[in-house]
Amino acid sequence: MRCIFLDRDGTIVRERNFMRYPWEVEPVPGAVEAVRRMKELGYLLIVISNQSGVGRGIITMEDVLAVEQRIREIFSGMIDRFYYCPSRPEENAWCRKPNPGMVEDAMREFDIDIKESWVVGDRCSDVELADRVGARGVLVLTGYGQRFVNRCSPFLIASDILAFARYLERSVDMPLQSGIQTQ
């Protein structure tokens, strides 16, 4: 099964430091349409998100799950699964991106063809995760993406998640080429 692993904050919803309340959730413009298009293309959609605010004691796992519920509502249940890593960066936990723990968990739960899958996010840790697991990495320029555009080498740079979905639609019957920027 083809999968798109989606970062949460800055990729499908607007970046907010340590989002605690469901009312803070605001989708990135075009994100709901993008998720719908990716779903129509037959992709399994999985959110993978570092949530170090839990490990730092700033937010609770209950806060994270309440925010998840609001995201599920906004995206009409089109996201198949959410995985989180609550560890602080200095812990270097196996689940924390760019380490592959969350992707490995998903691969145990679902029959994922990693070579036909994507990791999409607004940080180099998302791109590095894609490299580590054998997927293709996409850096979106929403969230923190602009800060990282010259710091990593993704398969694709997209202005936002909707531009990436359009790229997928255009490339259904075409061989994929790396090093592309798409609007």
Confidence of residue 172 (pLDDT cuts 50, 70, 90): confident
Mark residue 123 as left, alpha or beta (left: phi above 0; alpha: psi -120 to 50; beta: remaining). beta
pLDDT in tens, 88-146: 999 999 999 999 999 999 999 999 999 999 999 999 999 999 999 999 999 999 999 99
Q: Which residues are catalytic?
A: 7, 9
- pLDDT(164) > 80: yes
Q: How do strand 3-6 and strand 44-50 relate by DSSP bridges?
A: parallel
HSE-CB at 51 with a 13 A cutoff on CA atoms is 24
Average confidence (pLDDT) over 4-18 = 97
CA-to-CA dists, residue 174 to 34, 45, 117, 128, 132, angstroms: 20, 22, 16, 25, 25
Give per-residue pLDDT as tens, 53-83.
999 999 999 999 999 999 999 999 999 999 9
β-partners of residue 83 are: 48
Q: Which residues of 81-103 are buried (b: 16+ CB within 10 A; e: fewer)?
A: bbbbbbbbeeeebebbbbbbbbb
CA distance 65 to 136: 28
Token pair, residue 124, equals 């180099």
Structure tokens at 1: 């099964």
Band of the pLDDT at 175, cuts 50, 70, 90?
low
- Beta strands 136-140 and 118-121, pairing class: parallel
Q: What are the structure tokens assigned to 82, written together?
A: 């959410």
Does the domain made of 3-182 have the CATH classification 3.40.50.1000? Answer: yes
According to DSSP, residue 11 is labeled T
Task: Give residue 173's pLDDT.
Answer: 61
Measured at the CA of 99, the angle between CA 30 and CA 64, to 5 degrees, comes to: 50
How many residues in total does the chain contain? 183
Q: Is the pLDDT of residue 180 over 60?
A: no
Query: Residue 124 in contact with residue 143, Cβ under 8 Å?
Result: no
pLDDT given at position 87: 97
Q: In this predicted model, what pLDDT tens digit does every residue of 17-41 receive, in sequence order?
A: 999 999 999 999 999 999 999 999 9
